[in-house]
């Protein structure tokens, strides 16, 4: 019997390690960040691999706003950078973020794609690595909780060196309450093995 040709779908990209910076200073920031962890865990073709502790940080830019709560998350994903960016923006919107154009202003939730493997990208919609991450202690401190010690930020240097340069001033670790009082089944700073498989399609 002669086999019939089959139409093959688009080839799924290889899985890549990505890191997300998370921040909030309106509403109930710690709860919103916990909700963001849950939403990241549910992304398609993606596994949440690590979450950082939470940190209280002083705002950058306008000082007439509350302190921030910041964190970081690690992902293993087959989404493209553009798909992942779109997914992050969708989570922000669902959790109440309104983009008013104010730079460094207060917000319900901010999800920044910091690193996507070793990809360097400069487009109007997305720049990788994140263009300010190497100067921001509130990004580097949570990231250091979960990233390998020798992590290289393309074009900027090793994470440990960047963190030493900016320091930890104005950054205070805080306890992580559970959303709505319900238990969270992974601890702060945890590496999270095998929560869900990476889908093939």
Taking only the tens place, the pLDDT of each residue in 51-91 is 999 999 988 766 667 899 999 999 999 999 999 999 999 99
Closest CA to 19 of 113, 157, 155: 113
Q: What's the CATH number where 151 sits?
A: 3.30.70.560
**Structural domain contains residue 200:** no
Catalytic residue among 78, 97, 136, 176: 97
Active site residue 97: yes
pTM for this model (two decimals):
0.82
- Residue 76 belongs to what domain range? 16-174
- Domain membership of residue 181 (yes or no) is no
CB 57 within 8 A of CB 21: no
**What average pLDDT does the chain have?**
83
Tell me the two tokens of residue 32: 């919103």
Tell whether 182 is covered by a domain: no
Q: Is residue 33 part of a domain?
A: yes
pLDDT bracket for residue 188 (50, 70, 90): very low
Nearest-angstrom CA–CA distance, 136 and 162: 9
Beta bridge partners of 197: none
Domain tally, the chain: 1
Is position 136 annotated as part of the catalytic site?
A: no
């Amino acid at each position: 019997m002669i086999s019939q040709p089959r139409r093959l779908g688009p080839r799924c990209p290889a899985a890549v390690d990505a890191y997300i910076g998370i921040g909030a200073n309106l509403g109930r920031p710690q709860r919103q960040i916990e909700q963001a962890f849950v939403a990241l865990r549910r992304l398609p073709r993606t596994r949440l691999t690590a979450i950082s502790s939470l940190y209280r940080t002083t705002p950058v830019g306008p000082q007439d706003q509350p302190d921030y709560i910041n964190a970081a998350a690690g992902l293993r994903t087959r989404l493209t950078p553009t798909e992942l960016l779109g997914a992050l923006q969708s989570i922000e919107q669902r959790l109440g973020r309104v983009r008013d154009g104010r730079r460094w202003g207060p917000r319900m939730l901010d999800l920044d794609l910091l690193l996507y493997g070793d990809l360097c990208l400069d487009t109007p919609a997305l720049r990788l690595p994140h263009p300010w991450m190497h100067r921001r202690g509130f990004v580097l401190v949570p990231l250091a909780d979960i990233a390998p010690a020798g992590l290289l930020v393309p074009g900027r240097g090793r994470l440990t060196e960047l963190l030493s340069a900016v320091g930890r001033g104005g950054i205070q670790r805080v306890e992580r309450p559970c959303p709505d009082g319900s238990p969270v089944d992974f601890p702060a700073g945890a590496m999270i093995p095998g929560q869900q498989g990476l889908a093939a399609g």
